[in-house]
Structure 1
C-alpha cells in the first residue's frame, strides 16, 4: 500500500466488474500505485442473485456501503462508477459524504423523472411481467458472445471482445448465458424520482470528475423525456465539479479510450 486511497470501481447495467480491466491496465502502465477494486453488483458477474422479483436501487447503496466498510473501514475511498454505477456512486457520495474522498462519474447520466401519474401503468406492467419467467437469450459460443459485445459497441476491437466474453457469460446446458439475473430485464416497479436524486447530488462534498465520450448517444434512448439541458442542470448542482470529454469514444469510454481515460483519472486522483 502506498497511502493512495483505495479506488472502488462500480459497473453499469448488464455489465461486470471485469469491464474496468483495460482502464486498470492503463493506470498501472502510467505509474498509478493505488489499489483498485471492481465489484460485481448483486445479480451480475460472479455475485449471487437477490432471489427477489425486482432489484432496488437502495439495495445497491447497501451493497456498496457494506463493501467499503469491509475494505476501507477507517479511511475514505475514491469512488468511480460507469453508467448505472455512476448514478449509484453519485447518490452514495451524497448519502455518505464522509466516506468518499474523490468521485468520478463515467457517463452516469441517470434517468428521466417519473411523475406519480406513471405509477398505475408501471405497476400493472410489472405485475404482467411477473406472470412469465424472466429469460435471457443463450449464445452458442463465446465467439457469439464477443460478437454481441461488438454489436453493442462497434469500437470494441476483437482482442478486447474475446477477453471480455468469458467474463460476461458462462457455459450452461443451453449454451453460453450472460452472467446476469434475467430479473434485471423486468421493468422496475419503483418510479425514478429526479427530486430525490437531485437532493443526493446536492449533498456531495467530494471533488467530482464527470467524463463522457464525445460520441455518446445515451440520452437519445429517452427521446424528449430526458434532454441534455435536463441533465446539465442536474450535474450543475454538484459544487466541486470538473468535466472532461474523451475524443473518439462512446458510452463505453473505458473500452474505447482506456489510456486517455486512465490519464484523466490518475491526474484527478493525484
Structure 2
C-alpha cells in the first residue's frame, strides 16, 4: 500500500450548519499564502495526498495546505438526510472556510473537476480573495437554452422520487480491495498501491461490514437550474488572479459529452479570463493528479511560486 511522505492531520470546523472535515499539511510559519485544494465530484480531500507528497521541500516549507471534504462527501455529513444539493452552497461554504483559515489574506486556490468549476466561479465572485488559481479539468458544463428549463425541472422532480425509493443508492463492496478494484477500473492509470491507500480514504465499512463510498447518493440528483454560460463567462471576466488551466491528454470532454461540448468551446470561454495560460499533462486522464502527481505538482509550483 502507498505510504504518504507528508503526514496530514484532520480537524472539524463548524461552517454554517455543518461540521466540515478538513485535511491539513504543514504549518503557516513564513507568511506564505495558504494553499487550498478543492476536490471533485464523488471524491475526498485525501485525494490530494499524492500531489502534496510530490511538492518540493522548498515549496512546501512554511506553507499551510488545506483540503476540505465538500458537503455530502467524505466525512462532511449533513446532520439530517437531504434529497438534493444546491451548487451555490459550495461558494458560501468556501467563503466561510477562507474566513476561518486565511482571514483577509489572499490564498492560492487549486481545484479539480467540480472543484475547479467552483474555484473559477468563486474567483469571479470574490476576486480579491484569490492570489493565484490553478484549474485542473474544471471545464464547466454544456451550454443550455431557456426552453430546456421545463424538462430539467421534470427531470429533477423525477430523480427526487428515484432517490426516495433508493434507486440512486451507491454500490457497496465486500471489502477495501473491492473499492480499490473499482478505483482502478474507473481509472486504469492509477497504480495498485495508490488505489489500495485511497480506498481507505474514499470509503469505509458500514455496520453490515460492507464498504460504502463516502458520498451522499443525493449528489446524483440533477441540478434543477440550467447551467447558464453567459453568467459563467461574466464571472470568468471578473477574475483578477492569474489563472492556469490544466487539461489531460485524454480528452475528457469528448468522452462525456461527444459533440455537445468540446475543448475548443471551453477554450473560447477561457478567453473571458483576463490573465490565463494553459498547460497539458501527457499520459493522463481526468484524474490527472493521480496519474501524474509529479507533473501536476511541478505545474502548480512553477505557476504559484
TM-score over 0.5 (shorter chain) = yes
| SS class of match (1:184) | helix
Match of 1:238 in 2: 273
Within the candidate set 96, 101, 113, 2:131 is matched to: 101
Structure whose residues are more often helix by fraction: 1
Q: Deviations over 1:91-124 (max 9, x none)?
A: 0000000000000100101101221211111111
* Aligned match for 2:96, one of 53, 59, 66: 66
Match in the other structure for 2:188: 154
Question: What whole-Å deviation, never above 9, does each CA across 1:13-66 have from its counterpart, x for those lacking one?
Answer: 011111000000111456432211011100000101374321111100000001
Q: Distance in 2 between matches of 1:148 and 1:167?
A: 14
Which runs of 5 or more structure 2 residues have no equivalent in the other structure? 1-28
Q: Which of 250, 256, 264 in structure 1 is aligned with 2:291?
A: 256
Structure 1 counterpart of 2:52: 24
Q: Secondary structure at the match of 1:164?
A: helix
Q: Decide whether the 8 Å contact of 1:32 with 1:266 is kept in 2.
A: no
Contact 1:112 1:226 in 2 (8 A): yes
CA distance in 2, matches of 1:267, 1:46: 32
Aligned 8 A contact 1:13 1:84 in 2: yes
Structure 1 unaligned runs (5+)? none
Aligned residues: 270
- Which residue pairs with 1:4 in the alignment? 32
Match of 1:35 among 33, 39, 64: 64
Offset of 1:255 from its aligned partner? 0.4
Q: Quick check: 1:173 aligned with 2:207?
A: yes
> RMSD across aligned C-alpha pairs, in angstroms?
1.4
| Greater RCO, CA 8 A, separation 6+ | 1
- Provide Cα deviations, 1:136-162, integer angstroms capped at 9, x if missing partner: 111111101001101110000000000
Report the 3-state secondary structure (helix = DSSP H, G, I; strand = E; otherwise coil) of the residue aligned with 1:43: coil
Distance 1:38 1:113 in 2: 30
Instruction: Verify: 1:269 aligned to 2:304, yes or no.
Output: yes
Aligned to 2:229: 194
**Alpha-carbon offset, residue 228 of structure 1:** 2.0
Question: Normalized against structure 2, the TM-score is what?
Answer: 0.85
Aligned-partner Cα distance in 2 for 1:15–1:30: 28
Q: Does the CA contact (< 8 Å) of 2:253 and 2:261 recur in 1?
A: no
The residue matched to 1:103 in structure 2 has which SS? strand
1:130 aligns with 2:164: no
Q: In structure 2, how many angstroms separate the alpha carbons of the residues matched to 1:218 and 1:140?
A: 32
